[in-house]
Amino acid sequence: MIKEPFHSYGSYLKKIYGAAAFRVGIDAGFSCPNREHGRESPGCSYCDAFGARAMYQRTEGALADQVDENLKQDIAVQTGKAVEFLKKRYKAQMLLLYFQAFSSTYASAGELRAVYDYALSLQDYKELIVSTRPDCLDREIVELLASYKQRGLDVWVELGLQSSNDETLKRVNRGHSVSDFEAAYSLLNDYGIKTAVHLIFGLPGEGGTEITETCRYTASLNPAGVKFHNLHIPYNSSLYDDFLQGRIDALTTEEHLEYVISAIEMMPESTVIMRLTCDSREDERAAPKGFLKKTEFYNLLRTEMLKRGAFQGRLYSNDLV
Ligand code: SF4
């Protein structure tokens, strides 16, 4: 039997649950602190979220621990549609609740508890997965997330780093530093929460040296998971101007493939490779155009790694830590 060249998310889920498990993605209308007025940063330069759906109206005081009826209905409708689709198309049995949109811990711990509890009450879920930014996590919120483990759920946090280079983070207006990331990561670690680190390859001003440094840094954390993205340049982003002026372009499939192979080889064997490319609608982005679809890229990567004898962990060294 062929030994797979990397620890894919699909194989991880099958190993844990003995069957395929599927994410039910919910947008609970959380906003992002990096896009709000009065903040120094105008939002990440590659962000196309401006003008997106109405954001969750954060409440104060007595109402803070309750979920607004409209939001409840919205979550119930999203859940119903997603589960119906997954059951019909894949005969899905195992479900994972996934708060993916924007910064899904950007509210008080009381508000978050109410929203998570309500969403969890709608189906029998195996995991709670939350995607967020380093500046949207404090001890109270991390304690809340950890409390779901006592209810028998596995808890994952997907945490955006994107680059381990502070200059790059400033250049793209991330609105947080590498040390902010480190503080959030170590808090999650203290509470035994699994963390998946988000990285973007091809950010402005970055080439092989910076990307390798980011991968080396990420590997040194020995994260539970990692997600690789190739930079997308949406029409509705501030980066689009730079693209028009010829100051930035997106990676080609071949360039991204090389970065991903090196990155996988640098990661510890235990780290789950949860994503290989970015997802966005082709008609909403200026670049890349004609990039391989998710499954095509997966197949190309696997074939290429097998052909080269490349495998996850080959370049990982404990000396990195
Ligand atoms: S953190 Fe996400 S939602 Fe917020 S500005 Fe950056 S890309 Fe946009």
Phi-psi category of 313—alpha, beta or left, where left has phi over 0 and alpha has psi -120 to 50?
left
Which string of b and e fits 102-119 if b means at least 16 CB within 10 Å?
A: bbbbbbbbebbbbbbebb
Q: Give pLDDT tens digits for 268-304.
A: 999 999 999 998 899 999 999 999 999 999 999 999 9
Residue 57 has pLDDT above 50, yes or no: no
Instruction: Choose which residue among 27, 32, 99 to substitute to test ligand 1 binding: the one with the highest number of ligand atoms within 8 A of its C-beta.
Output: 32
The pair of three-digit structure tokens given for residue 214, joined into one six-digit string: 């980011």
Q: Give me the mean pLDDT over the 10-36 stretch.
A: 91
Residue 37 has pLDDT above 90, yes or no: no
Model confidence band, residue 52 (pLDDT cutoffs 50, 70, 90): very low
Model confidence band, residue 101 (pLDDT cutoffs 50, 70, 90): confident
Residue 227 has pLDDT above 80, yes or no: yes
* Distance between Cα 313 and ligand 1 center (Å): 31
What residue ranges do the domains of the chain occupy? 9-314
What count of other Cβ atoms lies within 10 Å of the Cβ of residue 130?
25
DSSP state of 8: B
CB 57 within 8 A of CB 68: yes
- pTM for the predicted model, two decimal places: 0.94
CB 278 within 8 A of CB 242: no
Residue 62 has pLDDT above 60, yes or no: no
9-314: CATH homologous superfamily?
A: Aldolase class I (3.20.20.70)
Q: Give me the mean pLDDT over the 15-19 stretch.
A: 93
Instruction: Choose which residue among 30, 36, 44 to substitute to test ligand 1 binding: the one with the highest number of ligand atoms within 8 A of its C-beta.
Output: 44
Mean pLDDT of the chain: 92
CB 236 within 8 A of CB 47: no
Query: What are the backbone angles phi and psi of residue 91, rounded to the nearest 5°?
Result: 55, 40
* Distance between Cα 162 and ligand 1 center (Å): 11
- Whether ligand 1 lies within 6 angstroms of the CB of 35 is answered as yes
More confident: 215 or 318: 215
* Distance between Cα 289 and ligand 1 center (Å): 22
Query: What are the backbone angles phi and psi of residue 94, rounded to the nearest 5°?
Result: -95, 125
Q: Give pLDDT tens digits for 120-130.
A: 999 999 999 99
Alpha carbon distance 153, 120 (integer Å): 10
Alpha carbon distance 87, 39 (integer Å): 43
Query: What are the backbone angles phi and psi of residue 15, rounded to the nearest 5°?
Result: -65, -40
Q: What pLDDT, on the 0 to 100 scale, is given for residue 64?
A: 61
Alpha carbon distance 77, 37 (integer Å): 30
Residue ID of nearest Cα to ligand 1 atom 3: 102
Q: Which residue has the tokens 């859940």?
A: 79
Q: What pLDDT, on the 0 to 100 scale, is given for residue 56?
A: 47
